[in-house]
Amino acid sequence: MAAHGIEQSWQAYTNAWADIDPTQREQVVRMGVSDDIDFSNPLIAGRGQVELIETMTQFQKQFPGAYFEASVKGP
């Protein structure tokens, strides 16, 4: 995948964690990650699109309006 495509995919994924319409979140996840995805951080672990969508939804309930932002700094 070209770098531009990877950046678009990453941006879509991080946007799915934001306070967006649940239908839009589900579309992004279903189009962007494998159904058998394994995900984790120091506090949670899960498997599959359904668990990821639920984790994202719970994140918004716990931290209303929160979102992730990533940037790449050049040399």
Predicted confidence (pLDDT) per residue in 2-15, tens digit: 666 788 888 889 99
- pTM comes to 0.83
Q: For the chain, which residues score pLDDT lower than 50? A: none
Name the β-bridge partners of 36.
none
Q: Which CATH number fits domain 3-62: 3.40.1350.10, 3.30.310.10, 3.10.450.50, 3.30.1220.10?
A: 3.10.450.50
Which residue shows structure tokens 């939804």?
Answer: 57
Domain boundaries, the chain: 3-62
| Dihedral sign of CA atoms 4, 7, 13, 17 in order | negative
